[in-house]
Amino acid sequence: MTPESVLSVGENALTVTMLLAAPLLLSALAVGLLIGMIQAATQIQEMTLSFIPKLIILVVALMIAGPWMLGLITDFTLGLFQSIPDFIGS
């Protein structure tokens, strides 16, 4: 296994990780920002107010992006398994 192949696998793993985390993190960020603006406008400073909307949005985002995320991680894992002979030099 060459250093270039190790770096390539690491780069692909980081890319897949970023793509898997992005839908959930961005949806939670958007809802948190919206709830924060509403709290600032109404001066309601209850910390637990944003928990339920974020949880609901995360469930919805997971239902929408879940099949794509599962396909992405499955393709990456299958690619790793199929490249094992190349890595060990057989």
Domain boundaries, the chain: 21-80
Which pairs from 30-39 meet CB under 8 Å and 24+ separation? 30/57, 31/57
Question: Count of alpha carbons within 13 Å of 37, Cβ hemisphere only?
Answer: 5
pLDDT tops 90 at residue 62: yes
**Helix or strand (DSSP H, E) at 64:** helix 51-82
| One-letter amino acid for residue 37 of the chain | M
pLDDT band at 90 (very low <50, low <70, confident <90, very high): low
Quick one: CA dihedral 74, 80, 83, 85, positive or negative? negative
pLDDT band at 73 (very low <50, low <70, confident <90, very high): very high
What percent of the chain stands above pLDDT 70?
A: 99
Instruction: State the pLDDT at residue 46.
Output: 80
